Chains A and B, each alone.
Chain A
């Protein structure tokens, strides 16, 4: 930290950028210049720090003081008070922030951050993602050097196998075994692919990992290429991630310039290069065979397996596909050893998992936790519980095709098998918390709408079946449900799960089936009683004017269908048969005289 008095880290992740962290940087430079402090302060732009809900974030060292929710006009205060007068500004300090403070208090010891444990995100927020020197300073490319100097490809595969690492894209296939299968196939050309086609709504694990530490991904892929005997890597990333793409491009160029990519890497006989392919943003292209078709220039549609990509993948050559998070684990496993890695987690699920924690939870953001942690610990200890004193209702893991788990599953350990047993999936790491104000029928409809829209349209069960399920759910939420609808949903859902061509269809009915299993009474209420207990399904609401009504007549005036009658200064009445449940009267009433039922 040479002669600088302060090192200021500004979060430069997508979410903070959206919240004008660039303006804050400019303002900071301006203020520093004005006060002649520029030479004393080092400004450092980091990748996503994970505390997206409180961005933009600024960390001032020494002291690991974290300021959040910053606005441009706050900067002058920070410079004046913190940098010049050297006092803490309590109103900007982020409180109740165990997630963060621990992470930084033990900076330098990359093993444990309390409930969190950062392996794949170990450098995110700590190094400048656009500087290869920064990466090198945290033992970057050391794993690659170790592999090239000391290990045979077979030893590398053995180490990955021993680590117990499983695919983080959702399937959970043992990574080492995948490598071994691909290595075994004899072919002149083989490909290594990084699947960065993150498509779950609300998920940003891969994007943040790349934005925060692109070199780790590259290093993992180069090691993978060495292990299976490939010379060509491709990163398939969605075009909607411009910052991640820019950082990857820079990282690839820098790695080439430093001899980590290209011919005879680090003076060895091994040559490997990486190129970036942009996807147009189809959810199904996260499926490996669809992704391969897309790279080949065809419409992204899956094909039946076998043959698996390990035997016949990109351009019919053996291909090793892993997702971003899986690749990011590789350098650590090589450096720290398989024994260390496999000491983390449960018997069958080793290491950590990154989740995008979202929904009705206090600390939304990006977290990395050891396998085996319970859902309760994530939601209440890391996530800080449910805001506004609401009651917890369900948590959905695994993105749009995961299941919704109620209270009684909160002590389920987060690992591949336990989540499946509970009726959900690990998926690629979406985690959405829902409070009591969530209608489970509506939420199932929401997710199914997404998967139906994103179905590639190739196989009948997924294309046609999810459409019919969606129609039934729409009917139910509009108060037109019929007895027998639940059974139809189950019949179609179970068929679609077992008969669809790819993972998208095979998991699309999960939100519906799991909510039927865990919240069947809510479905029945919708159908039989025409009632939505969460008050979400508009068409099922009943608006009633209570005796708080003073007869001002405003509701009568705004009602678009003339459903409200009543004389001035007397209690008005809503005609149920005319009411279209638009809610206008409810929102306009100044006396809270209208209640929803």
Chain B
């Protein structure tokens, strides 16, 4: 029935379209873009904003085109004067309850509400009145919630529950007082929020933004008494170009290195080096578990949102989690020890900054378990968006900048490190190395197609000296919980699992550039292009296996000894523990 063709009329012109679609889908397919706001193709249909209303002949009321199915012979009107006024009034009503501080707003010039107001042609305001006011929630190290900017489209609520399965957010109270809050109106910091930042990605306004550390960083960059070191994640280079008007998928590794130097950093290192190191430790840990018949499947631990989520909701599986720190935190540890020794400076004199695609890394960097003696491995985490703003704010011409290479020794990386940024990449890189460590032979077919792509859960197999190793990959916390259910039911089904907290992996992180006017948040085509940028980096490298990185080899020789050595354990490994956020504790257990 789905493929059946039917005839509909839009504004009195006949069109043949596929049946089984909503009015909006059908209109999209023939080039009518009906204005919309709460709709998102990856999320359930909310029907809340009423911006996408159309008139259908024979129906008294307007219908929400995002929800209403087409029928044969249906006569749809998308642009009558009456409808245009109704739509205009609806958007005006949203503006009337929205702060008018566009000039100073984070989302200025990249705001869906602004664009919508423009396209509705709102020139005059008729219904100005009281505006709601709630305090901003600044409690989380990662995410700021600003209810005054919220227009209640419910996308954040839906992505948090439907895609991420975290259920931090809900609408609360009624009527004009309606607001999106964590359960029991607790602070975000005390809620179950995984800090993944997907709410920021889908928010049409600035009701959710990252906790910004740019001012602090600008100040530190002017401090000549400290050594300023920065690292950036693989997926940052795959996306930062978008913030400067480049097509999605344009990788800007060298340009970013050059821009960071111009910003005032003394050393620019590559988180991909940390990724190579993670693979050395993680592959070794996996083989140790395999050989000593310890807890399997082993599950990766590099995604910080995933780790917070696991500690809160799946703590029964903590033993399955690799003890490896994330590449960022391994880098932080090395910068404050190995590198500090090299430049003969005290670790307290080093400012370690990480540019991440991720808001959860801000939370991770503050974890007490990750302290190196009494200092943090990473002092400041800024997102792709924040660094793009800083580059613009500092007047650096990113578009025409001449690219530069990383500093060493922590700047050289393999192709395996590059693909860390896309779902399935860690597993692919780990297999490349684990195979060789186990068999002593080099793996030739290193592009593992079955682990690539964006299917929710992907499985793969590899034969190592006649032993079948079964692996699985999940991206997004909702898919992660589904995969964990499989693990609980069939504990022997997999040996090794990769989980990334965000859809698409780090390339879809909560700190990546906002969708522009021509795309939608988390557009799969954009994610594909970012992924392709990282696969391209991998293909163009001569060193594609992490263990072949000569600087990694040198690091072990000079400093760490071997993977899983006691120094490795001290600097590169950590532990996790079950957590119950205060927000979901019964009242009698709360510390107040």
Question: Which A residues lie at the B interface, using CB under 8 A?
Answer: 282, 284, 299, 301, 303-304, 306, 452-461, 463-468, 471, 488, 491-492, 495, 497-501, 506
Contact = CB atoms under 8 A, between A and B. Distances in A.
Nearest to A501: B47
Given A498-B60, A500-B50, A301 B171 contact: yes
B68 A467 contact: no
B69 to A, nearest CB: 6
29 contacts: A284-B174, A299-B170, A301-B171, A303-B45, A304-B64, A306-B67, A306-B68, A455-B175, A456-B174, A457-B152, A457-B175, A457-B177, A458-B48, A458-B154, A459-B47, A459-B48, A460-B48, A460-B50, A460-B90, A460-B151, A463-B152, A463-B175, A491-B85, A491-B89, A499-B86, A499-B90, A501-B47, A501-B64, A506-B61
B49 interface: yes
A463 B129 CA distance: 14
B50 A459 contact: yes
A44 to B, nearest CB: 42
Given A304-B68, A495-B90, A282 B47 contact: no
A301 B180 CA distance: 14
Given A306-B68, A458-B178, A465-B90, 4 more contacts: A282-B174, A453-B175, A457-B171, A467-B175
B173 A468 contact: no
B47 A495 contact: no
Interface string B45-65: 111111101000000111010
Contacts of A491: 85, 89, 126
A304 B62 contact: no
Contact of B67 (A304, A458, A492): A304
Given A306-B69, A492-B89, A495-B90, A464 B176 contact: yes
Interface of B: 45-51, 53, 60-62, 64, 66-69, 85-86, 89-90, 93-94, 96-97, 126-127, 129-130, 151-152, 154, 170-178
Contacts of B60: 498
A455 B49 CA distance: 14
A473 to B, nearest CB: 12
Contacts of B174: 282, 284, 453-457
B320 to A, nearest CB: 30
Contacts of B51: 460
Contact of B94 (A282, A454, A460, A495): A460
Nearest to B91: A460
B64 A464 contact: no
**Which 8 A-B pairs have CB atoms at the shortest separation, nearest pair first?**
A457-B178, A304-B47, A304-B67, A464-B93, A468-B127, A455-B175, A471-B129, A467-B176
Contacts of A495: 85-86, 89-90
Contacts of A455: 174-176, 178
A465 B85 CA distance: 14
A492 B90 CA distance: 9
A292 B47 CA distance: 17
Contact of A461 (B93, B151, B173): B93
Given A459-B50, A501-B47, A465 B93 contact: yes
Contacts of A456: 171, 174, 178
A8 B49 CA distance: 58
A495 B53 CA distance: 11
A536 B446 CA distance: 83
Given A460-B90, A463-B152, A499-B61, A468 B96 contact: yes
Nearest to A456: B174
Contact of B53 (A303, A452, A454, A499): A499
Contacts of B126: 488, 491
A467 B130 contact: yes
A452 B176 CA distance: 7
A498 B61 contact: yes
Nearest to B172: A299
Contacts of B96: 464, 468
Contacts of B47: 303-304, 459, 501
* Residue of A460, A497, A499, A501 with most partner-chain B CB within 10 A: A460
A460 B154 contact: no
A299 B178 contact: no
* Residue of B126, B129, B152, B171 with most partner-chain A CB within 10 A: B129
B166 to A, nearest CB: 16
B52 to A, nearest CB: 11
Given A454-B175, A463-B176, A464-B97, A498 B86 contact: yes
A460 B49 contact: yes
Contacts of A499: 50, 53, 61-62, 86, 90
Contact of B152 (A299, A458, A465, A492): A458
B175 A458 contact: no
A284 B178 CA distance: 14
A461 B85 CA distance: 13
* Residue of B93, B94, B152 with most partner-chain A CB within 10 A: B93
Contacts of A284: 174
Contacts of B129: 467-468, 471
Given A498-B60, A499-B61, A501-B48, A458 B171 contact: yes
Contact of A460 (B66, B93, B170): B93
* Residue of A304, A456, A471, A497 with most partner-chain B CB within 10 A: A304
Nearest to B161: A298
A403 to B, nearest CB: 16
B584 to A, nearest CB: 15
B348 to A, nearest CB: 50
Contacts of A282: 174
A98 B98 CA distance: 58
A284 B175 CA distance: 11
A311 to B, nearest CB: 11
Nearest to A305: B67
* Residue of B45, B47, B85, B154 with most partner-chain A CB within 10 A: B47
Nearest to A466: B175
A134 to B, nearest CB: 41
A484 to B, nearest CB: 9
A325 to B, nearest CB: 25
B171 A461 contact: no
Given A492-B89, A499-B61, A506-B61, A464 B94 contact: yes
Contacts of B62: 498-499
Contacts of B89: 465, 491-492, 495
A303 to B, nearest CB: 6
A149 B45 CA distance: 45
A453 B130 CA distance: 15
A299 B171 contact: yes
A216 B392 CA distance: 73
* Residue of B96, B97, B175 with most partner-chain A CB within 10 A: B175
B154 A497 contact: no
B173 A497 contact: no
A460 B86 CA distance: 11
Contacts of A459: 47-50
A495 B87 CA distance: 9
A159 B358 CA distance: 63
Nearest to A449: B175
Contacts of A492: 89, 127
Contact of B178 (A461, A463, A471, A497): A463
Contacts of B178: 455-458, 463
